[in-house]
Amino acid sequence: MGRIVTLLTDFGLQDAYVAAMKGVILGIAPDVVLVDITHDVPPQDIRWGAYLLKSCSRDFPPGTIHVAVVDPGVGTLRRPLAIETPHYVFIGPDNGLFSYALAKEKTWEARVLENPAVRRASVSATFHGRDIFAPAAAHVAAGFPFPSLGPLTKPFDPSWPAPRKTPDGIVGTVLGWDRFGTIVTDIEREHLASLEEGVPIHVILGTKQIHRFGRTYADVPPGEALALFGSSDHLEIAVNQGNAAKQFGAQKGQPVKVIFP
């Protein structure tokens, strides 16, 4: 069995973009194992794509190659990138898409994908997923030396706002929400290390407040809201058997404040 190559994009499945990338990869490295993380990242939503990638990238075996393409700047001066950590390789546009995943890594090496040997002969200005990222991933999977991909570089830092402490708690932002309408914030368990289950808490989102902190969604009756740490260890706002994003009118980038008792 060949190396695992994952794909995360905002391409959806209506068009042939994902299939084209898979075809290129299999044409170069037919033994790879292709895994779709998701192709339903909202169009051009780099930050949500970065969160989704971080939330599952470490669940894969060491040696996995993660290809992520959420690329509103395709064809511009933004660089195509490959990043190697002690356990994984990340390939995609240099626009911040890998920032959350790299924040969990102690060491890494980043290179600009400049070697024509790992690109298609003809590169479309609008489809680097097929013509640059897919073939680069396939060549790496087939054993192409990582240092030969291109020159060393430092990935772009998107400088997204980070949670900040306040005199009575912490303020973060809404990253997005999953298909159940559960709101995901950028506040992580480490930011609230002293918080214990069952302790009173006030989470403020817009004009609404949540006063219950729980372990799982069923800790409140159906239709009621609570805050909890989700499987990715981010603070979530959920409605048991309901849709918190709709009920709270959530917006991406909206402030979320946690007030400690």
Q: How far apart are CA 253 and CA 173, in angstroms?
A: 5
pTM of the predicted structure, to 2 decimals? 0.94
Q: Where are the domains of the chain?
A: 4-153, 164-259
* β-strand pairing of 33-38 with 4-9: parallel
| Residue 197 confidence (pLDDT) | 52
Q: How confident is the model at residue 196 (pLDDT cuts 50, 70, 90)?
A: low
Among 180-189, 194-203, 233-242, name the one with the lowest average pLDDT: 194-203
* Residue 34 pLDDT exceeds 80: yes
Q: How confident is the model at residue 33 (pLDDT cuts 50, 70, 90)?
A: very high
**Residues 128 and 74: beta-carbon distance below 8 Å:** yes
* Residue 177 pLDDT exceeds 90: yes
* Residue 260 pLDDT exceeds 90: no
% of residues, the chain, pLDDT over 70: 97
| Residue 2 confidence (pLDDT) | 83
The H or E element that residue 38 is part of is strand 33-38
* CATH class of the domain comprising 164-259: mainly beta
Mean pLDDT of the chain: 94
Residue reference for tokens 């979320």:
256
Residue 210, beta-bridge partner list: 203
% of residues, the chain, pLDDT over 90: 85
Among 59-63, 107-111, 204-208, name the one with the lowest average pLDDT: 204-208
**Residues 65 and 141: beta-carbon distance below 8 Å:** yes
Record: fold of 4-153: Rossmann fold (3.40.50)
How many CA atoms lie within 13 Å of 111's alpha carbon, on the beta-carbon side?
A: 20
* Residue 198 pLDDT exceeds 60: no
